[in-house]
Structure 1
């Protein structure tokens, strides 16, 4: 080719129409990873204070799974779904610190969600006053927790290493087995429940399904025995993965602090509820889903939740000497805190996280055991069709009551502060404090 021909060639390139830019929904990359976290030895099981001995077998293997997402700008975010009762703040800090150091994923871009199964092992210091632990079990729990943290960091790294082009889509289904447990008689009585089943589908470039992220707002309390299990949500994940071979199913626990599966307490019922939830997800996947575009904007901040007046040192000393079981352990724990820090805390630093997927989906992961009022409120405020509110995220340290539940009292309204080792119920402003911070962060990510 002579000089004149070369000039004509490059001139043609300059005048040729530009290749169309990839649509935002075509610019995703996704990776998944999973690891079995079933303990290899008898351990105290989490969730119920009525258990009297460690575990004695495995009904279903339990897992931790990770879904990594990279948007068109190359920004990476990771969702971890784990079949444990909850991540403590200390556990979450250890995991997020290693993830940031090793993989460069910042705190706001790491979502740690616990399925809240009551048939998994005790981890960290979550709900510790509820359990009559001896020195041997305490040592086992510490050892298991350290290994679990390493396993979670490991699957985060694996999911990031497995990134490949992907497309995202979202839609919501319905499942009806959750019952508001605060108003339960011979039959179900009216009470707030969130029956939505949000589903985020991740497809490979060839259209096959790579991952299915789905949620439901109901306690994982169908089973109460001594064998490990992910309960209904673990059964649902296994059923979905059987329906879609090669795909990974990840469960995100919603705002189901005041909801139970009813009736309950048998393996048959857990299986039935798991299959109901899996069928709801399947119906969504087989229907029309809305494309989800990037970028993925993320933010994270703490907000202080004030406690009511705490018991005095004298009151706690009396309870520690005369109380029994959980109430004695609760008092002893608070007395140790006073001895170490000089006083009991007056507030709790509550983490709030918000993810915004383009203009298509707002994900609001909330810490603690969150009652359904929050999910219903935020979906009404930000959009029923494109808002997903999760509970049990990043720090499970207490129940998070709405003002209504706080006024009504009961276990979710304040009684659960004892097994969680918190000094007192929250003050009446708790709902509005959280709502104001959520609104601030939603506006921030939607305007970015």
Structure 2
């Protein structure tokens, strides 16, 4: 591995600020790794090689370089957020290939902090599914290339896990950050509603979608989240031991966590008890109707995003998803279903500060042309492996994924931490304790090509 690809964002920014390396040198090394690896990984829809080097040169000449928290850090951006001068394709042939006039606010904040956008990452069409494949490519898990990186922020997770960038910007509407982060051994935070500007698609999937970081360390995730929140991320008041509920119960009836993910929760519970927190086995009172509520919101969000697009250019699974969702748009627009869920779960989170669950029920499906397969087959595959993430988009509460242990294949395993509104700092603190007591390998071994 070369000198800077594979380093953390925190390390790179410090070195650039101290002028031990130039932004161009850092960006050039990451671009070289992208060129060598991405033919196998499929992380990027578009690489901004020339543009990012020019931007790195301009950054290196700035007089305020020493004040930039992400000075010279290469980042990748999910292809549903605008990057000035680049088209936003959202994984589809039906979207216009027209360059954006301006950066999305989150991209602008990253650039203002000194980050350099090296490319836009692959997503499933309209960011619908928990695997990433389509007309622009297939994103594979660098730890296990036969498997999908997950979705919908799969390209970004694959890029970070393969050390092609230290950070990626993604978003999460039903688990789209946490699912690929869990597959690829990364740290991510889906912030609570309003912490980071959304502006994702046509209405943020009724307010369920949030932008957030993909990183290899808790410190990097905290740094990027703070930048995205414009420095407004609150510090956690030191209130001593947190009350943690450990649960293996799936929110979706009929789906259970496989042994590696259940064991990861038990191990994380032990780690947190060792760190001085109060951990008890307790299950949230998920309603029996939660699966139907999640499906209604999931499909309705796609129906809104598909408006105005040429249906003939959409994949069949996307067309069906949008068609199913049309009948639910009016119902979910009221927000009543989400409010009922919050009301049901709030007493649980009055008794417990944090919920600990498996991040996934099992490893991701095999990488392949899922966009060419039937809608029901996609929905069943997604639901069977990622039932633990959707409730927290419906409530709008913060949740994060933390690597812990490995699967029998050698790929990473992970747990999920969930908190009440405003608990992002507390979740990051807990994740930091897990990282100290059970450190993980940050990036995958080099992927053969």
Structure with max Cα Rg: 1
TM-score, normalised by the number of residues in structure 2: 0.24
TM-score, normalised by the number of residues in structure 1: 0.24
Higher relative strand content: 1
